[in-house]
Amino acid sequence: MQYWFRAVIRNTFFQVGMGLLLVMFLGGWILKLFETGEITQGETPFWWAIVTMTTVGYGDYVPQSPQGRIFAVFVMFAGISLVSLLTASISSIFVAKKIREGKGLEKVDIKDHIILCGWNRNGEQILDSIQFLLGDRPRDIVLVNDLSEDEINSLKNKFRNLRLHYVAGDFTSERILERASLERADTVVVIPNQTDPGVVSPDEKTIFATLTIKSLAPKVRVIAYMIDRENLKHIRRANVDEVVMSDDFGAFLVASHVVSPGVPQTLNALLNNRTQNRFLRVSIPKEFVGKSYDELFDYFRRKKHWVLVGVFSEDESLGIGEILSADTSALDAFIERKLKEGGISLQEESKVRTVINPPDEYIIQENERAIVIP
């Protein structure tokens, strides 16, 4: 209680507000001593004091005596000083808030946003792809990293179609994630800080961040970018939704350039967000639910001039990686080995189930969407 009282007393707003009240009541009371007539009646002298202090000057009540007019000069100067202090205090609060936002020290009060944790050479490519794919649709993106204020301002100028926000700090910290409004976010993307000198393996921080995010906001979708494939089983146990490997396509593209020229060029075109003939995710018309894949294929080809590649659905069931324990025990190794022998790989687990070029008689399900090439 004593600490709270001291904090209130030292508050600038409280001090200036008390000063204004004191000058108003004291000014009105002293004016009664110097003046006579209507200006001294009821609450009129206090009304005159506040009008004079704020330099509004309605002129409805005016001191007539020399003493009253001299005293009015002191009230004017006192009012100008106090009102100026009040204005300066309010301005300083907004300026300080703006400076703290620029430094990433303020809480971001938004929802349904994307959080991008970490930063490396792929960060700008991710933002560029998101901006291009969104088109004119605005989207809030919160960057959580240790970039300088100048670097963040440069990114904001470069990606003007994105509403970029910044939170400075370690993205494995609960306090920092709460400042980024994690619980109200839509998706979190975790990319490794490859320049972080305090981390031996960038994947370690990615796994730890995923564990922290899922413990704070289990329903938020998390996409993790991993470097070492050996860490896949660990990130799966962290209940990640999707994993992107840094070497997923590199080896295949190199081999294809040697063995199957034309395949890598086609794949690059399909995955390039700048081309018109890239992969697109589209909704399936309701009238095709329960009908065959062949009918849906003909519809897209005839009506849209699109090629239907396959369908997918988001699987919300419990994944195999979530069943295994948090340690790397012999039992977990035995279960994983048996799953692989049965054709089920823990590393291939995904919460998005895809069906590429199914048989013509394949029946479209209600929760499925289509992957097409325009």
Residue type, 113: H
pLDDT tens by residue, 156-215 = 999 988 999 999 999 999 999 999 999 999 999 998 876 566 656 788 889 999 999 999
**Where do the structural domains in the chain lie, given as residue ranges?**
2-102, 105-248
3 state SS of 133: helix
- For residue 19, is pLDDT > 80? yes
Give mean pLDDT, residues 332-344: 54
User: Same fold for the domain at 2-102 and the one at 105-248?
Assistant: no
pLDDT tens by residue, 155-172 = 999 998 899 999 999 999
CATH of domain 2-102: 1.10.287.70
Q: List beta partners, residue 312.
A: 354, 369
pLDDT tens by residue, 218-267 = 989 998 888 888 888 888 888 888 888 876 566 666 667 666 778 778 88
307-314 vs 352-356, strand pairing mode: antiparallel
Q: Between 218 and 324, name the one with better pLDDT.
A: 218
Residue with tokens 């969104």: 134
Q: For the purposes of burial, counting CB atoms within 10 Å of the CB of 164, is it exposed (0-12), middle (13-18) or buried (19 or more)? A: buried
When pLDDT is cut at 50, 70 and 90, the band that residue 33 belongs to is confident
CATH of domain 105-248: 3.40.50.720
Give mean pLDDT, residues 112-128: 89
pLDDT at 85: 87
C-beta of residue 124 within 8 angstroms of C-beta of residue 116: no
As a whole number, the mean pLDDT across the chain is 82
**At a CB cut-off of 8 Å and minimum separation 6, what does 320 contact?**
236, 339, 344, 346, 349
